[in-house]
Amino acid sequence: MSVPPDSLPGMRSTARTPPVDDRSGSEFRTTLTGGRPTLSPSRAMDFKQCPLKYRLRAIDRIAETPSLQAVRGTLVHAVLEDLFGLPAAERLPERADTLAASAWSRVRGERPEVVESLTDQRLEVFLDEARALVRRYYRLEDPTRFDPESCEARVEVELDDGVPLLGIIDRIDVAATGALRVVDYKTGRAPGPTRETQALFQLKFYALMVLRTRGRVPAQLRLIYLADAQILTYTPQEQELLRFERTLSALWAAIEEAGRSGDFQPNSTRLCSYCDYQPLCPEFGGTPPPYPGWPTGDPTARSTAATRLQ
Ligand code: SF4
């Protein structure tokens, strides 16, 4: 693993290739999941960390209060997506500064409860923080010098044994040689050795999706940490991704088994301090709602069961 920023050979062309994602009938082989739960990197990590947390999020769909930090992350991703939607020559820092306001007008609609909590003064600080993160991005890459193949591509794929994977890949770059790079932006700081494994879990997940949709192993996985302007890169190997695929299959089998039995045990760790579900968790004296059962059909049929934590 290497930390300094680097580039794939040939990743310098600004010749534009059409965006590729599963929403535009592209080469991504999509699998509509018809309301069934899917396995994303976040949900996989949830189940590994605490099966009850997975259940409350993915099956009961009990809404959590989004943190300001999470909303800022959504905003920064939206700005970077908009930035790459501009002609390469226009992707300058001054132009990026102007994108925060328009991106915010989209993001704010998705998070009205957060907007309500922001005073005008706090909103300006919030937008400035997002702009500062985007400015830091320029220390790591020059977006005027290449065109990504896709940004924020929603990818769904079903593995051969039926595991339904879902991911939103921040960016996919393709070098002149055809080499693929999978990129993920993080608005936090680069992790230490312990959390690095967790970060790589997400990238391996995406690399496997690329392998299964395109039949090619990405040449590079790149995590861009904006808070401290660090890049973490990783070169995946096919055998490693195949082993990872078996790990995901085993994890999904465990999720389905818990889904059938309704037995989603709490797993108390230090991460409980950040868990919104404490009031519903036996580890904290709470009681989970009755298990609604494994969703199989139209997700809207279950929406009346969804509740919000007070
Ligand atoms: S508080 Fe801890 S044990 Fe309880 S659901 Fe949340 S993460 Fe799991």
Burial of 275 (0-12, 13-18, 19+ CB in 10 A): buried
Banded pLDDT at 48 (limits 50, 70, 90): very high
Q: List pLDDT tens digits, range 181-223.
A: 999 999 999 987 767 788 889 999 999 999 999 999 999 999 9
Ligand 1 within 6 A of CB of 67: no
Give the residue, out of 46, 48, 53, with the most ligand 1 atoms within 8 A of its beta carbon, to mutate for a pocket test: 53
Residue 26 predicted with pLDDT over 70:
no
Q: Predicted confidence band at 49 (pLDDT cuts at 50, 70, 90)?
A: very high
> What are the tens digits of pLDDT across the range 109-166?
777 777 777 788 888 899 999 999 999 999 999 999 999 999 999 999 999 999 999 9
Least confident of 26-30, 107-111, 252-256, 306-310: 26-30
Ligand 1 centroid to Cα of residue 275, in Å, is 6
Question: What value does the mean pLDDT of the chain take?
Answer: 84
Mutate to test the pocket of ligand 1, among 278, 280, 309 (most ligand atoms within 8 A of CB): 278
Q: What number is the average pLDDT over the span 76-84?
A: 97
Q: How far is the CA of 271 from the centre of ligand 1 (A)?
A: 8
- The closest residue, in CA terms, to atom 4 on ligand 1 is 281
Supply the pLDDT for residue 276: 94
Q: Please give the pLDDT value at position 175.
A: 94
217 CA → ligand 1 middle, Å: 36
Instruction: Determine which residue's CA is closest to atom 5 belonging to ligand 1.
Output: 53
Ligand 1: distance of its center to the CA of 304 in Å?
24
Share of the chain above pLDDT 90, in %: 69
Residue 8 pLDDT level (bands cut at 50, 70, 90): low
* Ligand 1 atom nearest to 51, measured from its CA: 8
Give the dihedral sign, CA 145/147/148/149. negative
In one letter, which amino acid is 161?
Answer: D
278 lines ligand 1 (CB under 6 A): yes
Q: Which atom of ligand 1 is nearest to the CA of 49?
A: 7
For ligand 1, is residue 268 a contact (CB within 6 Å)? yes
Our mutation pick for probing the ligand 1 site, out of 42, 49, 59, 268, counting the most ligand atoms within 8 A of Cβ, is: 268
pTM of the complete model: 0.81
Specify burial of residue 13 (Cβ count, 10 A radius: 0-12, 13-18, 19+): middle
pLDDT digits (tens, 9 = 90+) for 267-287: 999 999 999 999 999 999 999
pLDDT of residue 107: 86
- Ligand 1 atom nearest 286 alpha carbon: 4
